[in-house]
Structure 1
Amino acid sequence: MKNSLSIQKQLQKGFTLVELLIVVIILAILAAIVVPQFASTTDDAKVSSLDSTLSNMRSAIALYRQQHTAYPGNLISSGGVAACTTAGGVLGTGTTANTETAFLDQLAYYSNSAGKTCTARGAGNEFPLGPYIQKREIPKNPITDSNVLAPFSTAGVLGLTTLTAGGGWKYDSVSGQFIADDTNKGYNTH
């Protein structure tokens, strides 16, 4: 009799199948509530990062415009004076206006008022303006995870009826408009 009592006590120490199912159902309900909250937080962080990146790039473009009376990329960035190479710098390589090369040179390198660029200020400070961004690359669009700059627009107005291959950014060198190249959820209107 004593043996059968100890066997019964050992059998009663575990959980029943119903109790386990209730716990699993409660966990599933909690997961269904919590997971969407994390997903929307991630989307909110991406949108916030997009707004910050756009603000930084637009500020750099506006400052360049203020100091040069033209938007970056609107003029060629190559050429210049020997003072650049004398000071150990490298001249910009944007030999054609309205190109990504000229745009990046003029934002990332030192420049003169004519838009000519150099990686150094020059021996006599011939390139006194800039740089406006830290690296010679456009930051990634946090929504599309791309830093591709669509072919330049010179129309004065950017429209986004279709997404450009690569889906990073769009820029108009006449108006200075810089937008996200993404038609989803109106990100191009930020």
Structure 2
Amino acid sequence: MARPREFKTDDAIKKAANVFWEKGYLEASLPDLLDGMGLTRGSLYKAFKDKKTLFLLVLAHYEEEAVGAAKACLTDSSVPDGRDRILSLFAALCAAVAAGDTRGCLLCSAAAGYEMSDPDIAAAVEKGMSGIREGLEAALNDSPLHAEMPDVERRAIANVLLTQYIGLRVLARSRMPLGIVEQSVDSIRRLLEMDGA
């Protein structure tokens, strides 16, 4: 009779996420993962098959948690003006950096890494990024300054905002001074005031 699994899968995935966040996908070694997750080699392979499968599960968990939270902020109907939702998302990013969070975004870090040469990882990253872009488009649809724009123009602004979001999350990881992040958020505010005016 097989022994019952002595760990919760969700907890193990969260611990693995911390290892990948710190080390990156390529640099996270098996010993790093075993130590960070508190598992034996046999338990890891039995539960997760291999490092790539584990990383894909981590990305799926991150999309559900972090991307889900970003989309919830961007589609929050209790904030009528979509521009305010967008600015709230970027203000939260700035506040996290001010509080000392230099982890950045796991998706953004993966997007900038060599692991994107793997089609399965690239697809998982694209799915998460698309979720953020969809949230930005939804917020722009609810912005009085942007709602009447042609879809193609609104989509272009959403793409610019996504680029800014990714860039700021990478800047946070690089430990750039907070002032640079704050200036970027101010530029986003001006962009949202200009477009559609």
TM-score, reference length from structure 2? 0.25
Larger radius of gyration: 1
Higher RCO (Cα < 8 Å, 6 or more apart): 2
Structure with the largest fraction of helix:
2
TM-score, reference length from structure 1? 0.26
